[in-house]
Structure formats: C-alpha cells, structure tokens
Homo-oligomer: A and B are copies of this chain.
Amino acid sequence: MDSEDLMKLDQQFCFAVYACAREITKLYHPLLKDLGITYTQYITLLALWEKDRVTVKELGGRLYLDSGTLTPLLKKLEASGYVTRTRDPEDERNVLIELTEEGRALKLKACDIPAKLFEQAGASVEEILAVREQMTSLLHKIHIKNGREEN
C-alpha cells in the first residue's frame, strides 16, 4: 500500500474505532434516557455494581478515566442519589465511592440492557465476541504504551 492510500479516511483503523464508539453510544442513548443516566455514567455504574467502596483512582484505573473526568461525573451520580463520596478516614487523600440503595436498585432496571444491545447490534454473537477480544487486547497494549513517556 503506498503512502497516498495510507492517508485515506477509510483506511484508518483509528477512525473505524473512533466513529464506531460514537455510534454505539448513540445506540445506548434511548435505553439509558429511560433510566435518566448517560453512557459514561452507565459504564461507571457497571464498574461499581461489580465492586464498590473503591477510590476514584481505582475506579479510574478500571474505566481508563482520570479524576478530571470522574470527579464531576461522580458528583452528578451523587446528586442523583446513586452513590456517596466520602473521604477515607484511614487516608484523607482517598475518596471512597459507594453505591446507595437506589444505586444498587438501578442495576435491576438496567439488567436487560446488554441483551437488548446484543440483539440490536445486527452482528452474530461470535463475531462480536471475537472482535471484543481483539479490541481488549489492543486496549491493554496501547494503554501500556501511553503509560510510558518515551516512544
């Protein structure tokens, strides 16, 4: 492939992923609107439903987001009554995020979302699973690259 072809939009791996991510988010929108949460809030709650009483740091590590994004988002979830934010008495630098009863209850209202999305995706389960494996593998590799300054 010559340099001219490499510059074409349709040849860009990054663009396929970038545009796809945005379209997927839009696909979630009507379902999440019923619950009164945004996509990033949904992803954050998924992480908390698995394990809460975690620091912003740990949550950010799992979501690949930093405090600049999470702090305002968690304050919104707190204002909505789904989580609490309390300074860890053991180490006042840490803020512990915990689900409230309403936060836990929301999981039941959201539990059919993954199945609904799978159904809407318009692709076979096998295909989706295979691509997910590769995306996850690539995500880890790139995250490590981004973690180092050089290169």
Q: How far is the CA of A14 from the CA of B117 in the complex (A)?
A: 9
- In contact, A46 and B9 (Cβ under 8 angstroms): yes
Q: How far is the CA of A24 from the CA of B12 in the complex (A)?
A: 11
- In contact, B122 and A9 (Cβ under 8 angstroms): no
- In contact, B151 and A120 (Cβ under 8 angstroms): yes
Protomer copies: 2
- In contact, A7 and B114 (Cβ under 8 angstroms): yes
| A123 on interface, CB distance cutoff 8 Å | yes
- Give the 8 A-B residue pairs with the shortest CB-CB distance, closest first: A16-B135, A21-B21, A6-B114, A122-B141, A23-B142, A20-B139, A19-B64, A13-B132
Given A13-B132, A23-B64, A131-B138, 11 further pairs, Cβ under 8 A = A3-B111, A7-B111, A9-B50, A9-B62, A12-B114, A13-B135, A15-B46, A18-B24, A20-B142, A23-B143, A24-B142
